[in-house]
Every structure is written in C-alpha cells, then in structure tokens.
Structure 1
Amino acid sequence: MFDLFTLVGFFVSFFVSGFIGWVTYKLLIWPYYISPLRNIPGPPSENPFFGNLKSLLKEEEPQIKWVQKYGNIIKYYGLFNQPTLFIADTKIIQDITLNKVYDFIKPPNMLADAIIIAGRGLVLAEGEDHKRQRKMMNPAFTHNNIKEMVPTFIRVAFTLKGLIEDKVNLGESEINLTPYISKATLDVIGLVGFNYEFNSLTSSNELAEAYDSLLNGPKPILRFVISMLSNYIPFVRKIPIDMNKRFNNACEVIERVSKRLIREKYKEAENGELNGKDLISLLININKTLPIEEKMTDEELKYQIMTFLIAGHETTSVSTCWALYLLAHFPHEQDLLREELIKAFPDKSKFNPTFDEINSLEYLNCIVKETLRIHSPAPFTTRTNLNEEVFGEYLIPKNTTIMVAISALHKSPEIWGPTANDFDPKRWLDPSVTKNVTNLNYLPFLTGTRACIGNKLALTEFKILLSMLIRNFVFKPIEGFHFNIRTMTANKPSPYLGLTVSKFEG
C-alpha cells in the first residue's frame, strides 16, 4: 500500500511540476526569450496573466501613445502574456485590407461571443464564403436602393424629434440621449432591413431591450473579460451569474426574432407578395436567380439578419451620439452647421431632403467626416495571418494576432498636422490636409472587399438624424457630467451620453 501511495504521489508531483513548468514557459519564458516577435518594440508587460490589458481596458486610447512612442509596428502583450501587434504602417495595412485580404482572417480565438450575437454572416464569413456572400449582397446596397430608403430615415427622425421635444416641453433639460438614438436606429434597420415595424421608440420592444442588455449593460470591463475568456474556456458562459443570464437571454431573443423574420419573408415569397425594397426581400429575390452553388442557405440568410441588426443600428447610433457630444462642446461648430441647415431647410416642419440634397451639404459632410475621424466606429480591427509574413524588418509567424491601429492613424500628426487631436471640421475644406488622406489612413468603415457594405446607408442615415436634431434643438454639456471612453470595451460614452437640450426657435 505504501508503494502505491508513493507511486501516486510521484505521478501527482510529476504532473503538477509539469503544469507549473508549462505555465512558466508560456507566461514568462516564451514571450520574452523565444517568441519571434520578442524584438519588436512596444510597452513592457504589466502582468504575466493579463499582459497590457489593464492599460487597454482602463485608458482611453493607449494605441495612440504607443504608436507615437514606439513606431508604426509595435508589440504589446495580450491575455496570458501573448505577444500581439498593433500596426499603423499603411504599406502593411494595404496588404491586410487589399492585396492579401483573405490571407488575414478574423481571429478564431476572439469570435465566440460575436458568432453567438451575429452568426456567420457577411462580417464574420471568411474566404470563399465571404466572396460569395459579398457578391450576392452588393446589388442590395446600390445607390438607387439607398435613395429609396431616405423617406424611412426621415420618418424615424421625426419620431425621434417628437419624443425629445415632449421631454423638453415637460420641463426636462438634462436628457440621456443614448437610448432614444439607439432605438431610432433600430427602428430604421427594422424598416429598411426587413420592412418590419419594431416601434421601439414608442413602445416596449424585446429586441431593443436585448440589445441594450448586450451593449449597454453594467460593468463593461468584466463583460469584456468574460467575453475574452469564453474563447478559451467555453463553459464560462454557462456559469449562472446575472451577467451571463442577461447575455444568454438576449442572444436567445435575437436568434428567435431573426428566425421569425426569415419565416415571414419566405411566407410572403410563397404567396407572391415579396415585392418590398427592404434588404432581406432583395436578398431573397436575388437568391432565387442564382445557380445552386452561389445561393445562400436559410441559415446564412438568418445570419445576415443577425448581422444587419447589430451592425446596422449600433454604428449609426454611436456616431450620432458622438457628433452631438462634440457639437455640444464646440458651440461655434454647432451654430455653423445649424446655419447651413436653416438655409437648406427654412421650414423645419417640412424637412424632407432627398439623398442628393442631404449629401450636398458641405459643412454637414465636414462634421460627419470629422466625427468619424475623432471617434471611429471601430478604433481598431483585428486579424490573424494564415501565412508567415514580413512586416518591415520583422518576420511575423503565422497565427499572430494583428490589430490595425485605426485610431492612431486618425490622430497621427504626420497625416493631420499639429491639430490631429482637435475636433476641427474645417480641416476637410483644406486641400493641404485632404491631399494626405487616403483609403489606407482614414478607415472609419475599413477599405477593400472587407469594408462595411452598408457604409453609404449608414452615412445617409447619420446625416439625416443629425440634421433633424440640430435643426430643432440646441445641445450643451451638462455641468459636472463626466463619462468614460474605453475603446476596447465599446467606443462610446459610458455609461451614457447626457446633454442639456433646449428647443431652437427658428
């Protein structure tokens, strides 16, 4: 018996020692002394388990100071001290986004939650699947189709205006605008995406509540950490804590609503009633005409609905909030925009611009471009290289996590001059500045075949919502109100955008 216990003790000691040795190697030896990335400059690791995540989670935009300090190719340490790259070199970005776009994929070890929320739709599809989906979906986003969506944007903008006006009339001046704008953009994507009335602005809606739970819940840092851990330890999402319950319930609602929408569209098609110009109707009609090898499956069509729902409302909502925040803090710019809008639309009660009219407003365009520069919808985009690559003088092994440092490019003094960090819409009227701007250093919607397919839709909706609000209201900061900006968890004001709102009489 003694010999058996001795043998068991030996094996336990052996495995414990081996595990400790393996952990020591992965966390403390490989990153610093063996990794092919070890000689790339960058910030020192802050913690062997969490690397530089503390800075990434708690600071506003650490990538900007890192790029300015260490150069356009930098290494930082991610979860479990794994070396990760930030890239602000436009030649490398050209390879990632254009020349070798399908050699750089979304990192499989970072997508667990994203796949649950959005499915394997266009945003998360890769390779041949992405090519096929993109080719099929392009006709749904033509110039003419987006023109036909403008009346819907205007209709929802009037509803949003009315709700804010009601609050002001009741004596409220300090208003949390985040939920109203988010619900407005959800209503828009319901109509132009599926010809479906969510009516989330005017009534309780389970889908709006689901997205609010996913995107605006408490403890954003903990939500981010759990999301990251779920890629390595899937059962993390099964732990019965309140945060996981909200996440799983919200995902169940999104899945159920998406399935219902696709069923209803197929029923319309069977009855010969699928004549709408909404995106899913267009996709189903296009799908009918394709050879079998190019068709989307029912599952893929469901994924497109899930993708439209999340990408189609959150980006525009956040950008509109940032524009209002910036204009509240720069009242002269707000006044200049309002003057342009008054000239274009003297009677605000008859605000009814066409696609061409709203896109012809010069200063509105400047405001929108500058908002997207200062607060890009995606401050970075992440990829993994399928093949060994050479970045400058460095050999990059395959399966390296690579982040394109969009915010660092958008605030680079080399591109934008000494006022790169300032909100200055007039810079877009200066040829000496705009001559330096390319599709490789200004990337609010990325570029190439992985660029946002709905960027023209989003921009037009953004302009109409912003124009409606600035034409009807004056926005000012709330004295003493502060919020956090943590771009790794969500590139938006946290916990919400609060502004002082009053009616503009004129």
Structure 2
Amino acid sequence: MGVQSLLALAVAIGVTSYLKLHGASYSAILLGLLASTVAQLAISLAFSSLIYRWFISPTKSLPHPRDTPFILGNLIPFLSEPWGFPLARWQRTVPTTTSGFYRVFLGPFDYLIPKSSQAVTTVMTQPYLFHKPAAVRDGLVESLGVGLVAAEGSVHKRQKKLLTPIFGMNRNRRLVPQMWAKALILADKMQELVIKFDGHSDILFMHPLTMAATLDVIGVTTLGVDFDSVTRPDQPILKAYQRVFPSFENQSATEKFFGATLPAIISPHLLFKLPLKPIQEFHQGMTFLQDFCLAQIKQKKQEIEDDKNDTIDVREKDILSAIIASGLEDESEILSHILTILAAGHESTAITLAWAIFKLAQHPIVQDKLRAELQAATRDMKGKEMSLDEINSLTYLRCFLMEVFRLYPAFPAMMREAGNGTLVGDLHIPKGKQIMVSPYAVNRSQELWGDDADEFRVERWEESYSGGAKSSQAFLTFSSGPRICIGKDFATLSLKVFLVVLVSRFRFEEAIPGWHPIIQKGTSLKPQGLKVKVTLL
C-alpha cells in the first residue's frame, strides 16, 4: 500500500473515530467520510497540479508547450482535437532538450513526450522497462484478455515466441488467394454501387466498405470463416464490430463524449461498469464476439484432434488452426489472441485502406503511376491473381503505401510507464512516470524527416528505402523494437492486394476538390465521412 493510500486510510479512521466519540449518527458518519474523501481528492489534485508539477518534480526543468494554463495544462487541446494533432504541433514548437524529452500536462497528470530519435529509441527499445500503464493494460484485458498487446514481461516474451512463426512469410504466401478473393468481392460491390447511379461513376463513402472488406479478410484468414460482410452488411458479426468500434458520425455530442473523451480520463474498471448506452453496446458486441470465437476454437480443436494424419491443410489452413496446432491448450489465452488479431488487424487495416484510397484521389499523378506499374506487371497474366513474390516486386506500390502508413498511422498515440527509476542523459525519470509516444507526431517530425515531413511525397521512398528518415525509430506506425507489431507483414500484404485489385478497375477522384475528411477524436485515426468519386475503367 502506497503512502497516499495509507494517509487516506488514516484520515478515514480519524474522521470515523471523531464522529463516533461525539455521538454522530450512521448517516452523519457516511457524510463525513464522503466530505473527507472529496477534500483529500481536492488537496491531492491541487498538490499535483500546483506544487509538485512546478516546484518538486524531477522533470520540472523540462520545456512544455507555450500557453499552458496553470491548472488544466494542455488538457483542452488534447481532448478537443484528434490525439495526434496537438502532439504533432508540439513536436515542432517545443524546444529540444539534451535528454530529448518535453512534458505536457493533462489536468493533474504529467506526461513525458520523447521528441528526439534518442529519446524515442530509449523508450521503444526497452519495452519491459517502459511498459504499458496499469490503466491501459486493464482496459485491454477487460476487452481482449491477456493477449500479445496486453501482456507484459515474461508472458509477452512467451506469447511472441509462439505467435511470430505463425505470421511468417510461408503463411502469408498461402493466404494470398483468400485475400485476393475478398478484394474481388469488394471491387464487385463497388462496381454494383457505381452502376446503380449512372453506370459509370458515383461518389462512395469508403470507410464502411473498407471496414466490411477487411473484416472479411480477417474472418477467412484467421478463423477460416466467410463473414460475407461486404455483400451482406446486416451480418451479426459486422453489427457486433460496429458496437465495439463505433463511428461517431451520427452520434450526439453527449454520445461522442462518452464514447471518445471519457475513456481517456477514467479508469477502465469504473468505465466498463457505467450504465451508459455506449458502454452497454460495447459489452453486447464483445459478448457476441467472445461467444462466436469460443465456438470456433472448440470446432477447430475438434478438427485437429480428429486429424490422425497431421494433415497440413487441417493444421495450417488458418491462423486459429495454426495456434491450436502449435500446442497451446488454454482456451482463454487462445481466445485472447484471436480477439486481439480480429480487433487490431481489422480496424487498423480498414482505416489505412480508406486513407490510401483518399490519397490516390488527391494525387492523380501518383495514381496514374501506380496503375501503370500494375498494368505492366499483369499484362501477360490474363486476369489471374498475383503471387506473393509478384505483389512484393511492385516497388512503387510499396513506396506509396509506406507514405500512407507514415502520414496516417492507425493509432496516433501509445502510453508507457517507467517500471523503475532510470537516467536518460541528464534526466532522471522516476518510477511510475507516465510517457506518451506519438507515432503521428514522430512520423511527421521535421527533425527526423526533413522540412517536407508534413507533405505527401511518395518519392522519398523511391530515393531511399528508409524514406530518408534520420533514424530507424522515425517510423512508428507499427511500433518498433521488441514490441513491433508481428502482424505488420500480414496487414501490408492485405492492403497491397486490395490496392492492386481496386486501382486496376477504378479511377479515384476527389469528391470535393480540396476537401479533407474530419478525423474522429479518440484512440484511432478513423476518418468520418471519407468519400471519393469512383469511376469504372
């Protein structure tokens, strides 16, 4: 028990004893305890916001954003904008220090922000020293269980050792036909929507389509189940996902607050118990997904047990089968892995695909160059699907997608916490210090990418395989270091397949010249109302 907890307990005992000695009623004692708790909270917040932050903290000498209010700090811009926006702005304007860190204040809470490549490297390459804060882990465990994203320390090491081979090149090679088939279904659906209008072109809202299509890819490659969400948008599995990962486009300001802002400032243990509509819908969606995945786990286990010949088509036909065949028997852990893959792999890929199509619409020269590369590569294929090697040989496609990844990381911020006190240069980081790493800000840092860091410029990847970055830690879309996303090659391949099929069949143009969709506030870079003009070729 910490000092603060002991002090709070001592105050509670003192208040109770005092009131009892003076003959107070039970109700009066409860009111007294409530009043003392509120007073302690107010004193604690005042101390952390007004005294510790400015005069005692070992990080008090670090710079912070200009125009930082004395009490609320930087909380207002952080909650009123998409998470990456203020962090990218502060990345440019806050002075660089010897340690490479600066600090921001979100109400009473202080966060260190690594700005320089040295500071980013320090945090990202030591994930077991700088681990996820308890509140973040609790939220992940409440929704996904202890999978690879939520696990820490030895548990994470064991899980990564188990799962890394399952996401290797050989599996990706086998999954290309499944991805290709789903990309063709998406293209057919888009063609159907375009023909409905005037037979040639129409304006389509892309994110709902990419959400359904990437869910279908995850379904067939991970579970071996055809969700068919693109052609049947009323599918229960898609409805469940929409409850778990809601779009705020048609929600009221109150619903947006409870769905996006509240999770950033309240403990998951309390948040998930609130009787609010967004929370209830989240639980309904998660319950459906958990039950559905558990049923698939039991079915796959039975299929593998019945396979006496160790047939590779049974044990390797999808990711779930491969996990079970690896020897993992704990159903709760298998469920955590599958929920994590379905959640992280689906939403992030859908967001990136939507942004990729939007950037093609904004940059017709880039689109023409990409289409020319595809036509040259497929000229003698007579409509056949491309192999993994053929897809990976498309150099301009890689360059284009890397630039989309750089500017639009699906998750713009990551939270970390110092597990022990440590020294970084001349900066002492105390145990428990909160740290926020922003892929959105680092990926757009002029110090790391040059003066044109905010520009969409595919050529940077043609000029250099690394995009001209000044550090290996300048590209954080998939995280980096020991906790780099093990599904990054899988996600990249599925996006390449979608783009090969779609760019070969459609021309994308801006629906409104110069228009840019609003980015949803919250933990992801989800676009709202992203629309493009789609024309049949």
- Whether TM exceeds 0.5 here: the answer is yes
Task: Confirm or deny: 8 A CA contact 2:448 2:471 kept in the other structure.
Answer: no
Whole-angstrom CA distance in 2 between matches of 1:413 and 1:228: 28
Task: Confirm or deny: 8 A CA contact 2:50 2:70 kept in the other structure.
Answer: no
After TM superposition, give the deviation of residue 147 of structure 1 in Å.
0.7
Match of 2:197 in 1: 171
- What are the within-5 Å matches in structure 2 for residues 398-437 of structure 1? 398-431=431-464, 434-437=467-470
Instruction: Sort the Cα spacing of 1:485 and 1:181 in 2 relative to 1 into closer, same or farther, 3 A.
Output: same
Q: Which amino acid in structure 2 is aligned with residue 52 of structure 1?
A: N
After TM superposition, give the deviation of residue 32 of structure 1 in Å.
2.5
Task: Confirm or deny: 8 A CA contact 1:229 1:236 kept in the other structure.
Answer: no
Match of 1:217 in 2: 247
Q: Deviations over 1:322-354 (max 9, x none)?
A: 111111111111111111112222389715111
Q: Which amino acid in structure 2 is aligned with residue 88 of structure 1?
A: K
Q: Which amino acid in structure 2 is aligned with residue 228 of structure 1?
A: A
Unaligned 5+ runs, structure 1: 288-294
After TM superposition, give the deviation of residue 487 of structure 1 in Å.
6.1
SS in 1 for 2:436: strand
Residue 69 (structure 1) aligned with residue 93 (structure 2): yes
Whole-angstrom CA distance in 2 between matches of 1:164 and 1:92: 45
Task: Confirm or deny: 8 A CA contact 1:133 1:296 kept in the other structure.
Answer: no
Q: Which amino acid in structure 1 is aligned with residue 261 of structure 2?
A: V
Instruction: Sort the Cα spacing of 1:438 and 1:39 in 2 relative to 1 into closer, same or farther, 3 A.
Output: closer
Match of 2:358 in 1: 325
Q: Which amino acid in structure 2 is aligned with residue 215 of structure 1?
A: F
After TM superposition, give the deviation of residue 3 of structure 1 in Å.
6.1
Instruction: Sort the Cα spacing of 1:171 and 1:400 in 2 relative to 1 into closer, same or farther, 3 A.
Output: same
Whole-angstrom CA distance in 2 between matches of 1:266 and 1:465: 31
Residue 456 (structure 1) aligned with residue 456 (structure 2): no
Whole-angstrom CA distance in 1 between matches of 2:457 and 2:256: 30
Task: Confirm or deny: 8 A CA contact 1:478 1:500 kept in the other structure.
Answer: yes
Q: Which amino acid in structure 1 is aligned with residue 111 of structure 2?
A: T
Instruction: Sort the Cα spacing of 1:66 and 1:486 in 2 relative to 1 into closer, same or farther, 3 A.
Output: farther
Greater shift after overlay, 168-177 or 57-66?
A: 57-66
Instruction: Sort the Cα spacing of 1:220 and 1:332 in 2 relative to 1 into closer, same or farther, 3 A.
Output: farther
Match of 2:51 in 1: 29
After TM superposition, give the deviation of residue 296 of structure 1 in Å.
5.5
Instruction: Sort the Cα spacing of 1:335 and 1:237 in 2 relative to 1 into closer, same or farther, 3 A.
Output: same
Task: Confirm or deny: 8 A CA contact 2:411 2:523 kept in the other structure.
Answer: no
Instruction: Sort the Cα spacing of 1:332 and 1:64 in 2 relative to 1 into closer, same or farther, 3 A.
Output: same
Task: Confirm or deny: 8 A CA contact 1:57 1:486 kept in the other structure.
Answer: no
Residue 466 (structure 1) aligned with residue 499 (structure 2): yes
Whole-angstrom CA distance in 1 between matches of 2:171 and 2:465: 35
Whole-angstrom CA distance in 1 between matches of 2:396 and 2:456: 14
Match of 1:281 in 2: 321
Whole-angstrom CA distance in 2 between matches of 1:286 and 1:328: 44
Task: Choose which of 515, 527, 530 in structure 2 pairs with 1:493.
Answer: 527
After TM superposition, give the deviation of residue 465 of structure 1 in Å.
0.4
Task: Choose which of 407, 428, 446 in structure 2 pairs with 1:374.
Answer: 407
Instruction: Sort the Cα spacing of 1:22 and 1:91 in 2 relative to 1 into closer, same or farther, 3 A.
Output: closer
Greater shift after overlay, 271-280 or 412-421?
A: 271-280
**Matched length:** 492
Task: Choose which of 113, 123, 126 in structure 2 pairs with 1:96.
Answer: 123
Q: Deviations over 1:435-483 (max 9, x none)?
A: 5454311122122221111111111111110121111111112227653
Task: Choose which of 229, 237, 246 in structure 1 pairs with 2:272.
Answer: 237
Q: Deviations over 1:62-102 (max 9, x none)?
A: 11221221134111112x4210011122223323222x321
Task: Confirm or deny: 8 A CA contact 2:360 2:508 kept in the other structure.
Answer: yes
- What are the within-5 Å matches in structure 2 for residues 15-414 of structure 1? 17-43=39-65, 45-46=68-69, 48=71, 51-60=73-82, 61-70=85-94, 71=96, 72-78=100-106, 80-98=107-125, 100-171=126-197, 173-203=202-232, 204-218=234-248, 219-231=255-267, 234-272=269-307, 274-287=314-327, 295=328, 297-346=330-379, 350-414=383-447
Whole-angstrom CA distance in 1 between matches of 2:430 and 2:414: 19
Instruction: Sort the Cα spacing of 1:214 and 1:433 in 2 relative to 1 into closer, same or farther, 3 A.
Output: closer
Instruction: Sort the Cα spacing of 1:444 and 1:351 in 2 relative to 1 into closer, same or farther, 3 A.
Output: farther
Whole-angstrom CA distance in 2 between matches of 1:179 and 1:68: 34
Whole-angstrom CA distance in 2 between matches of 1:482 and 1:409: 22
Whole-angstrom CA distance in 1 between matches of 2:209 and 2:38: 55
After TM superposition, give the deviation of residue 430 of structure 1 in Å.
1.5
Q: Which amino acid in structure 1 is aligned with residue 447 of structure 2?
A: E
Instruction: Sort the Cα spacing of 1:434 and 1:16 in 2 relative to 1 into closer, same or farther, 3 A.
Output: closer
Greater shift after overlay, 160-169 or 383-392?
A: 383-392
Instruction: Sort the Cα spacing of 1:399 and 1:472 in 2 relative to 1 into closer, same or farther, 3 A.
Output: same
Match of 1:444 in 2: 477
Task: Confirm or deny: 8 A CA contact 1:116 1:251 kept in the other structure.
Answer: no
Task: Confirm or deny: 8 A CA contact 2:420 2:430 kept in the other structure.
Answer: yes
Q: Deviations over 1:257-309 (max 9, x none)?
A: 1211111111212222743421111111111xxxxxxx562211110110111
Whole-angstrom CA distance in 1 between matches of 2:209 and 2:508: 15
Q: Deviations over 1:383-438 (max 9, x none)?
A: 11101122332211111111223222211223322211111101111249845454
Task: Confirm or deny: 8 A CA contact 1:383 1:403 kept in the other structure.
Answer: yes
SS in 2 for 1:238: coil
Task: Confirm or deny: 8 A CA contact 1:66 1:74 kept in the other structure.
Answer: no
Greater shift after overlay, 209-218 or 356-365?
A: 209-218
Task: Confirm or deny: 8 A CA contact 1:113 1:227 kept in the other structure.
Answer: no
Greater shift after overlay, 158-167 or 324-333?
A: 324-333
Task: Confirm or deny: 8 A CA contact 1:187 1:197 kept in the other structure.
Answer: yes
Task: Confirm or deny: 8 A CA contact 2:45 2:108 kept in the other structure.
Answer: no
Q: Deviations over 1:232-270 (max 9, x none)?
A: 6x3443333222221111111121112111111112122
SS in 2 for 1:175: strand
Task: Confirm or deny: 8 A CA contact 1:370 1:423 kept in the other structure.
Answer: yes
Instruction: Sort the Cα spacing of 1:52 and 1:258 in 2 relative to 1 into closer, same or farther, 3 A.
Output: farther
Q: Which amino acid in structure 2 is aligned with residue 490 of structure 1?
A: S
Whole-angstrom CA distance in 2 between matches of 1:89 and 1:238: 40
Greater shift after overlay, 129-138 or 266-275?
A: 266-275
Q: Sequence identity of aligned pairs in percent? A: 28
Unaligned 5+ runs, structure 2: 1-19, 249-254
Please, what TM-score do these two structures have when normalized by structure 1?
A: 0.90
Greater shift after overlay, 141-150 or 151-160?
A: 141-150
Q: Deviations over 1:8-50 (max 9, x none)?
A: 69967766654543342234333233222222111254484x6
